[in-house]
């Protein structure tokens, strides 16, 4: 369980899990709440940054 290939895979898995299943949904929830509070400009700006990040080639494997 401590082989370099396993350590690399598991580390990559944990980073991806926290990013795609934790950080991104939390950020989207904050922008949703900002829109509900009437702060559309800030919400659109943050959504634009998130969309820009997810549009990069290194995120294409996710299938979004």
The terminus-to-terminus CA distance of the chain in angstroms comes to 31
pLDDT attached to residue 1 = 60
Encode 21-54: b = buried (16+ Cβ within 10 Å), e = exposed: eeebeeeeeebeebeeeeeeeebeebbeeeeeee
pLDDT attached to residue 20 = 95
pLDDT attached to residue 54 = 94
Residue 3: what are its φ and ψ, rounded to 5°?
Answer: -65, 150
pLDDT along the chain (64 residues), means of 10: 79 92 97 97 97 93 72
pLDDT attached to residue 2 = 67
What is the model's pTM? 0.79
């Amino acid at each position: 369980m401590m082989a370099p290939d396993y350590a690399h895979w598991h580390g990559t898995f944990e980073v991806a899990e926290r990013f795609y299943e934790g950080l991104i949904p939390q950020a989207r929830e904050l922008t949703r709440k900002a829109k509900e509070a009437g702060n559309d400009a800030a919400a659109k700006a943050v959504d634009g940054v998130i969309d820009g990040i997810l549009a990069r080639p290194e995120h294409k494997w996710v299938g979004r």
